[in-house]
Structure 1
Amino acid sequence: MVVWRSVEAMAIRIRTVGTTALVLAGTLALCSCTATEPPPTTEYQARTSSPEASLTVVADASEQAASIATSVALFDESRVVVVAPAGDPAAQALAARAAVAVGVPLLVADGAGPGSSAAPGEVDAALRDEFTRLNVTTVWSIGDPAGFAARPGSSDSADDAADNSADDAANNSGNDAADGSENDPADGTPRIVASDATQEHVEAALGFALDAEDGAAGTPGTADRNRAAAIPRTTPAPPLDDTLALALDSDAQIASIATAQAAGVAVQLLPTSAPNPQANAAAVEALHGSATSKTLAIGAAFGGEPELDWKIRASRTGATLPGGGQLLFPQHQFIALYGTPGTPSMGVLGEQDVAAAIQRAKDVAAPYAGLTDKTVVPMFEIIATVASASAGADGNYSNELDPARLRPWIDAAAAEGVYVVLDLQPGRTDFLTQAKQYQELLELPNVGLAIDPEWRLAPDQVHLKQVGGVDAVEVNAVTAWLAELTNEKALPQKMLVLHQFRQSMLRDRSAIDMSHPELAMLIHADGLGAQPDKQATWRALHQDAPAGVAWGWKNFYDEDAPMLNPEQTVAGVFPVPDLVTYQ
């Protein structure tokens, strides 16, 4: 279900607003409308169209630029627009109510302050250009943007104009608002209808603009009738039901949100501190539940959000990770069993069948739930390619398990909320070559990858005589491929585990590429033995580690002296590991 904050709610929450009417002068004609006749009977409908691209980002920092960009994205023509001042959320919220109700864009006027292209009494060039593009004939201005001066001879507010006689008003404006045929000024510049930025006045004028017979609640003033008389009867265009908007929940987006809603686009809000939709359950639900195919992202922070297109496409799939959501860290803590299915000598994972292994993983993970605020997720780390003492037929000193053998374990794990990581021990071949053999499994949303440099041999090395190692360039080849696969298939974020207990295992570690948001990178400390030695290894690995990397710790049932229990692991290992593996 799509959820969004309506602009009506924005307007209702406003308690006090300014009362000075916005008067645009210079190249625009001013209408001091005083006629009391009903609004023109000919209804007008703006023309809208959805963006061409599947993702359109409105990331302008300027309120005015963002409002114009949103208008350009959604409206092809609108003879009526609503304008409100920059930096005035109260006036913008009232203007939003009006714009959505009549189905027209809400644009923001910057005024003639520092950096503006407009002189006092003139309209900013960018705003003028948008009026021209939209073929605007009537501007309903609400509020007073700083730096704009009232045109000499014009009234200071719409209420003052209401006190003038109809003849005086006609002389001041050069237009008779009561005459529908004269609604467009002769020189082609838009007519300005100014409203005080108060909810009472805007709602009253809006009531008459929408329905001349019923009007607004309460007793209308003459000025409210005049505003309605000057605004062409407008009805919203059919909704753009192929587009969903994501917008940051801040006052800077009021105008853009209103314009999107005026075009019939549903809007889902995100906190300004977290523009990634994958981090927001409501956003994932909205994107997945929407029948739309296009997304409009509104907010400056979206401009710097890496791989936003992938994040939106992944959210639209609705696929979630074990434990919930589409991001791994820091929301989750993983507790894993390590080994090879059907091979007890390779680790505890292989000591039982898949059903019993799932239950064991859950039992091992359960104590951690009471020790952390994170969601605890049971996990399998399956050794998919096993280091071998012999070269084998392919000469690489590694035995690759058939993916079909592993698939039942992965499917059963997914059904029970267990995450899976495939571990590679490649011998004399490279990690990327082996990773590609398991692409069909890595295309599943609950499957990540681990590379174990201990078992990556040089051409003249053999297992158990030397400890292997890998250069950053080979690691980066794997991460680039896995990130691209995750992006292409619109998958949730994947875990990429780097095993290490010696510095030499990950050579030139500082050059490892950590820039892929599709991957959650984790360094896993594999040291075994006495706890002081393990702690020393843990501290050494943290020195000069890549920024943003997560951390894993391994508890050995037989080799540790002693093995830490869950309470000791959480209390005694700092920082608390994001992944704890049992072998």
Structure 2
Amino acid sequence: MTKRLQAVHILLICFSLMACTASDSQEKAPSVASGPAKAAAPDTSDTKKGSRPGAVLDTAGYDKRMKAIANGDSSGRWPVKAPYPLPGAIFPFNRVIAYYGNLFSKGMGILGELPKKEMLRKLKGEVTKWEKADPATPVRPALHYIAVTAQGTPGRDGKYRLRMPFHQIDTILKWSKEIGALTFIDVQVGQSTLQEELPRFEKYFKLPGFHLGIDPEFSMKNGETPGSRIGTFSAGDINYTIDYLAKIVRENDLPPKILVVHRFTNDMVTGYKKIRKVPEVQVVIDMDGWGSKALKTGTYNTFVYRQPVQFTGFKLFYKNDLKRGSTGLFEPKELLRFTPKPVYIQYQ
């Protein structure tokens, strides 16, 4: 990872941190106008029985799509060898197009920057672009809400993170239902831990279609202030999360959960070879850096392609990817040339 990318990304962190209050107080979520409703067609699988009565997985279709995602890779890295997922798995049968942000801030992403109706209309436009670029792969829209935000000040308990009110998650769930979208929450632990933060959301993880993103950038292991340096998660941290979600899936007869792990430096994720692959959880390593197309391509090839985990994602910044020296925002047809092809696309 170049010093330039780290510097500009740290600047983005600072803007994000200033967007939220420095205490752990919970504010009332702003009200927003209603948007259009459109249901997405679920994947149908038909050859392998699963744990839920009548549920089956199309293993031949799975293998074929995994090979297509590998995009001709001859290195042996892709497709990654892993157990078949439980029936109802989103990947590789679909691509997810997600809008990311926080309802308290217009500076943390498109989800929160625009009024609801305008935001959902814009998301629908991105979904349509991807459907046209890759007609063979159904597209699932998603809303990805930052439920725990890293902070530049310690707060009441000294954890350097701010927990958003549950009624905001309820709002996002309502919006997702209106358009047939998946729902994700994102967790930035600051000086807290995944073990402390994730169980608070268990009632939501018991819902089908509700998924998780974790951000190593804001996991400060040695007492640093978020934004002062880039944080890290180990394979142990990620495996805790996988085991936690897998247990919920098994106990509640759910389809697999998606776990998105953000990454744009080598040290943000350590011990990638030890990250577990289980039928209950589908892990996406999401290329989260911003900058020129050449810089983002280099980051993807270095830290995502060369260190395979399971699936890959790509983050696009409507504003920061278009700053000085920009070569424009990646179009779907360009990202479909990547090896492997990303299955999760996040817009901020």
**Partner Cα distance (1:376, 1:536) in 2:** 26
Deviations 1:292-347 (A, max 9, x none): xxxxxxxxxxxxx9799xx5xxx7xxxxxxxxxx1111110111111112421111
Deviations 1:214-261 (A, max 9, x none): xxxxxxxxxxxxxxxxxxxxxxxxxxxxxxxxxxxxxxxxxxxxxxxx
Partner of 1:330: 92
Alpha-carbon deviation of 1:353?
3.7
Deviations 1:465-486 (A, max 9, x none): 1100011112111110111011
**Partner Cα distance (1:544, 1:557) in 2:** 27
Alpha-carbon deviation of 1:543?
4.9
**Partner Cα distance (2:199, 2:115) in 1:** 27
1:458 to 213, 217, 221: 221
1:279 to 41, 57, 65: 57
2:305–2:339: 8 Å Cα contact kept in structure 1?
no
- Aligned residue identity for 2:339: F
TM-score, with length taken from structure 2? 0.73
Q: Label 1:492 to 1:358 Cα distance change in 2 as closer, same or farther (>3 A).
A: farther
Matched, 1:540 2:302: yes
Matched, 1:350 2:112: yes
Matched, 1:470 2:233: yes
Matched, 1:576 2:338: no
Partner of 2:174: 411
Uncovered stretches (5+) of structure 1, i.e. residues with no partner: 1-268, 281-304, 316-325
Alpha-carbon deviation of 1:458?
2.0
Alpha-carbon deviation of 1:582?
1.1
Deviations 1:341-370 (A, max 9, x none): 242111111023444433322222111101
2:305–2:340: 8 Å Cα contact kept in structure 1?
no
Alpha-carbon deviation of 1:414?
2.4
Alpha-carbon deviation of 1:533?
1.2
Partner of 1:367: 129
**Partner Cα distance (1:490, 1:358) in 2:** 31
Partner of 2:316: 555
Matched, 1:498 2:276: no
Larger relative contact order (C-alpha < 8 A, sep ≥ 6)? 2
Q: Which has the larger radius of gyration?
A: 1
TM-score, with length taken from structure 1? 0.44
**Partner Cα distance (1:523, 1:306) in 2:** 18
Partner of 1:301: none
Coordinate RMSD, CA, aligned: 2.4
Alpha-carbon deviation of 1:565?
4.2
1:358–1:413: 8 Å Cα contact kept in structure 2?
no
Alpha-carbon deviation of 1:395?
0.8
Alpha-carbon deviation of 1:494?
1.1
2:148 to 374, 385, 409: 385
2:133–2:333: 8 Å Cα contact kept in structure 1?
no
Alpha-carbon deviation of 1:415?
3.4
Helix, strand or coil: the match of 1:344? coil
**Partner Cα distance (1:457, 1:537) in 2:** 22
**Partner Cα distance (2:305, 2:99) in 1:** 27
Partner of 2:329: 564
Q: Which sits farther off after the overlay, 386-395 or 567-576?
A: 567-576
1:528 to 283, 286, 290: 290
- Aligned residue identity for 1:573: F
- Aligned residue identity for 2:164: L
Deviations 1:130-186 (A, max 9, x none): xxxxxxxxxxxxxxxxxxxxxxxxxxxxxxxxxxxxxxxxxxxxxxxxxxxxxxxxx
- Aligned residue identity for 1:467: I
Alpha-carbon deviation of 1:571?
4.3
Partner of 1:50: none
Partner of 1:131: none
- Aligned residue identity for 1:362: K
Partner of 1:292: none
The residue correspondences of 1:187-198 to structure 2 (distance < 5 A) are none
**Partner Cα distance (2:263, 2:56) in 1:** 30
Helix, strand or coil: the match of 1:465? coil
1:555–1:563: 8 Å Cα contact kept in structure 2?
no
The residue correspondences of 1:239-258 to structure 2 (distance < 5 A) are none
The residue correspondences of 1:474-489 to structure 2 (distance < 5 A) are 474-489=237-252
Matched residues, percent identical? 25
Helix, strand or coil: the match of 1:503? coil
- Aligned residue identity for 1:443: K
**Partner Cα distance (1:400, 1:499) in 2:** 19
The residue correspondences of 1:110-149 to structure 2 (distance < 5 A) are none
Alpha-carbon deviation of 1:492?
1.5
Q: Label 1:420 to 1:452 Cα distance change in 2 as closer, same or farther (>3 A).
A: same
Uncovered stretches (5+) of structure 2, i.e. residues with no partner: 1-44, 59-81
Q: Label 1:472 to 1:567 Cα distance change in 2 as closer, same or farther (>3 A).
A: closer
- Aligned residue identity for 2:334: T
Q: Label 1:552 to 1:450 Cα distance change in 2 as closer, same or farther (>3 A).
A: same
Partner of 1:58: none
Query: What is the aligned residue count?
Result: 273
